[in-house]
Amino acid sequence: MARIVCVHGIAQELKSRESLLAEWAPSLCGGVSNAGGHIEASDVDMAFYGILFRALGSKSGDGSVIAIPSYRPGDLEDELEVQLLEALFDAAGGTEVDTGTKSGIAPRSVNRMLQVVSAVPYFGKQAQNLVIWFLKQVRRYVTDPEIRKAAQDSLIALIAEDTRVIVAHSLGTIVAYETLSAGHGPGVHTLITLGSPLGTPALLSRFKPPTVPGKSSAPGSLASWVNIADAADIVALKKSLRPIYGRRVTDHLVNNGSTMHHVLPYLTARETGGAIIDGLRS
């Protein structure tokens, strides 16, 4: 079994454990090499839960298969989804518009917030339905017990006696945090979170256990929790998790260029590689 188990983030529903591992393992080996160490690709495994979000096949008018539902702004009706969109909008530098009338500042609209967020380089100025699809995946994980359990089971199944490090990205950091908090993986020494939304205010009360800033802590089995965020990563709303989860958390800022939330630059960062080296020595 693997000494390092990885947990992917959102929007991986069209991939598989094998295809993700083929991307992650070489990059993770590169990050360790950049930090002056060495691991083998065989040291790494991938917990895959993306299939839980794969949409049922349907066809468009021209006969092509639709992989992502054709969401429109009106489909963002759930309160949590709107709260998450507002957080992304603020993190993306969204501002209110002065109407120049007695009404003053125009109220936020879902349409406008989607326009701003979808223009962020991470989303590649792609269709707004992709942003909505991302938001719905996060909401479904924290509100659907079956999806939550299945995602965590994908990680639990790979944690073995020799597993020492878990590397998680984006939504996967929530999966990893909750799994370890539930007492699984007592031999895991180090958690590495990349581009994590674990500091998002709208989500804190929905975690299991609920997070109380300043009073919650890293899962008891951990000797070290290394949190790594790009300063421009809007998904990692709070770049520093130490004030929220306690002194066992070490925060690092990195620069991933225009691909601020993409996982591969996170994996090749020296900070990530160094945390893996330290975790395997524990």
DSSP 137-187: HHHHHHH-HHHHHHHHHHHHTT--TT--EEEEETHHHHHHHHHHHTT--TT
Residues 23-56 pLDDT 10s? 999 999 999 999 999 999 999 999 999 999 987 6
Measured distance CA(41)–CA(33) in Å, rounded: 12
Domains assigned to the chain: 4-53+144-281 (3.40.50.1820), 63-142 (no CATH)
Q: What is the pLDDT of residue 105?
A: 43
The residues, ordered by sequence, that sit 6+ positions from 60 with a Cβ below 8 Å of its Cβ are 66
Amino acid at 16: S
Q: What is the pLDDT of residue 282?
A: 75
Amino acid at 89: F
Q: What is the pLDDT of residue 67?
A: 61
Measured distance CA(183)–CA(176) in Å, rounded: 11
* SS3 assignment, position 272: helix
Would you put residue 167 in left (φ > 0), alpha (ψ -120 to 50) or beta?
beta
Residues 105-136 pLDDT 10s? 445 788 889 988 888 877 655 578 888 988 99
Statement: the pTM of the whole predicted model exceeds 0.85: yes
Per-position pLDDT tens, the chain of length 282: 799 999 999 989 989 999 999 999 999 999 999 999 999 999 999 999 999 998 765 444 444 444 667 788 888 889 999 999 999 999 888 755 433 444 444 457 888 899 888 888 776 555 788 889 889 999 999 999 999 999 999 999 999 999 999 999 999 999 999 999 999 999 999 999 999 999 999 999 999 999 999 999 999 889 999 999 999 999 999 999 999 999 999 999 999 988 899 999 999 999 999 999 999 997
Q: What is the pLDDT of residue 184?
A: 96
Assess contact for 32 and 267: CB atoms under 8 A: no
Q: What is the pLDDT of residue 241?
A: 97
Q: What is the pLDDT of residue 125?
A: 56
